[in-house]
């Protein structure tokens, strides 16, 4: 087995306020090898972004609180690390691309300065060298280096997202966390950005955590998939496992509710009901109120993960007892 770069074990994150406790992440575990990419898929409020913030040590505290678990990055537990060391890792070895390129760039700094800022922080380059590096990075993501003195508002949405990618990659991180990197973009621009990310992955061997709700995007660049529902990974496996041999009723429902451009059907299949409110999650299997196969046994206790194969895990009572 190749060396694993990141291991998340039993991560649990809550947001505690006076009125309620929101269990955003409940027991999430996955691992990532060098050069591998994993897609975290799920709907709004499933806890995908909170997981990413947890790994980066960026959960706002208060109200956020990491209750348990560990995040091992190159063998070190990030959750126990002093803030000072964390800051060295963030932006250097682990970097993140945020969802909304329009609001995550600083509007009063040129894009060149914003890229150089990361470089200056994490290496011993001089200002001149950093500027040169910034121009190089822009060229890498397909923007003429000469535009490094322009401000964010002078770029289009797709180009801003490329600038974000340039910032994230400036220090050649080992691990890149991309939170809905293409959601705000048009399809043809999305295709350009995905192509770029795929090339960079091949070139630098960067590991990637891709957070998205778009199953099509995952199919394009991920090796592994984790389907997240109500703060739990309910199905986990290789891209092939999930796309050709899906087991969990939620995963199946998610795929079925997409309009298929190749086949005609009069009505879309829907998953009944709504995503549960994370401040009062149902007991037992979190999906049981919406599940067509729910039985009495699903309503109580903890749903433990069941292995379907060496690479494929599913959290569903129907597969307990080995008959898969």
Partner 1 sequence: MAEILRVEDLTKYFATKKGTLHAVDGVSFRVEESKTLGIVGESGCGKSTLGRVILHLHERTGGRIIFQGQDISNVTAAQLKELRKDMQIIFQDPYASLNPRMSIGDIIAEPLKIYKLYPSKEERQKKVRETMDVVGLAERTYSLYPHELDGGRRQRVGIARALILNPKLVVCDEPVSALDVSIQAQILNLMMELQRERNLTYLFITHNLSVVKHISDDITVMYLGQMVEKAGASEIFAHQYHPYTKALISAIPQPKYNAPDQQIILKGEITSPINVTRSCRFAPRCVYAKPECFEQEPQLEEVSKDHFVKCHFVREINGL
Q: How far apart are CA 181 and CA 77, in angstroms?
A: 27
Q: Which CB, 97 or 254, lies closer to partner 1? A: 254
3-state secondary structure of 224: strand
Give me the least distance between CB of 219 and partner 1, in Å please: 6
Q: Which CB, 112 or 276, lies closer to partner 1? A: 276
Give me the least distance between CB of 289 and partner 1, in Å please: 14
Q: Name 14's bridge partners.
A: 23, 65
Q: Which CB, 260 or 283, lies closer to partner 1? A: 260
Q: How buried is residue 199: exposed, middle or buried, by Cβ count under 10 Å (0-12/13-18/19+)?
A: exposed
Q: How far apart are CA 185 and CA 225, in angstroms?
A: 22
Q: How buried is residue 183: exposed, middle or buried, by Cβ count under 10 Å (0-12/13-18/19+)?
A: middle
Q: How far apart are CA 236 and CA 178, in angstroms?
A: 19
- Match 């496996």 to its residue by tokens: 237
Give me the least distance between CB of 63 and partner 1, in Å please: 19
Give me the least distance between CB of 187 and partner 1, in Å please: 4
Q: How far apart are CA 193 and CA 198, in angstroms?
A: 9
Interface residue list for partner 1 (CB under 8 A): 43-44, 156-159, 186-192, 194-195, 213-220, 239-240, 243-244, 253-255, 257-261, 264, 266-271, 274-275
Give me the least distance between CB of 247 and partner 1, in Å please: 15
Q: Which CB, 173 or 231, lies closer to partner 1? A: 231
Q: Which CB, 174 or 232, lies closer to partner 1? A: 232
């Amino acid at each position: 087995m190749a060396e694993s770069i990141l291991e998340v074990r039993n991560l649990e994150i809550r947001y505690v306020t006076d009125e309620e406790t929101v269990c955003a992440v409940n027991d999430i575990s996955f691992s990532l090898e060098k050069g591998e990419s994993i897609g975290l898929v799920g709907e709004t409020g499933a806890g995908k972004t909170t997981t990413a913030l947890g790994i980066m040590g960026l959960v706002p505290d208060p109200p956020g609180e990491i209750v348990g678990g560990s995040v091992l990055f190159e063998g070190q537990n990030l959750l126990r690390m002093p803030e000072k060391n964390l800051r060295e890792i963030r932006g250097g070895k682990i970097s993140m691309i945020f969802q909304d390129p329009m609001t995550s760039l600083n509007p009063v700094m040129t894009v060149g300065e914003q890229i150089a800022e990361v470089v200056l922080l994490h290496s011993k380059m001089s200002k001149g060298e950093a500027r040169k590096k910034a121009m190089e990075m822009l060229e890498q993501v397909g923007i003429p280096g000469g535009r490094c003195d322009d401000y964010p508002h002078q770029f289009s949405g797709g180009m801003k997202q490329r600038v974000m990618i340039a910032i994230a990659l400036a220090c050649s991180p080992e691990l890149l966390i991309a939170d809905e990197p293409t959601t705000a973009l048009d399809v043809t621009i999305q295709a350009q950005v995905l192509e770029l990310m795929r090339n960079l992955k091949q070139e630098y061997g960067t590991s990637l955590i891709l957070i998205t709700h778009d199953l099509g995007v995952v199919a394009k660049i991920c090796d592994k998939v984790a389907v997240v529902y109500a703060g739990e990974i309910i199905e986990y496996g290789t891209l092939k496992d999930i796309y050709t041999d899906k087991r969990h009723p939620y995963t199946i429902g998610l795929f079925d509710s997409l309009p298929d451009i190749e086949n005609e059907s009069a009505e879309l299949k829907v998953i009944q009901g709504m995503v549960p409110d994370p401040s009062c999650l149902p007991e037992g299997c979190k999906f049981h109120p919406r599940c067509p196969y729910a039985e009495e046994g699903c309503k109580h206790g903890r749903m433990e993960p069941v292995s379907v194969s060496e690479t494929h895990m599913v959290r569903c009572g129907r597969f307990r007892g080995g008959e898969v």
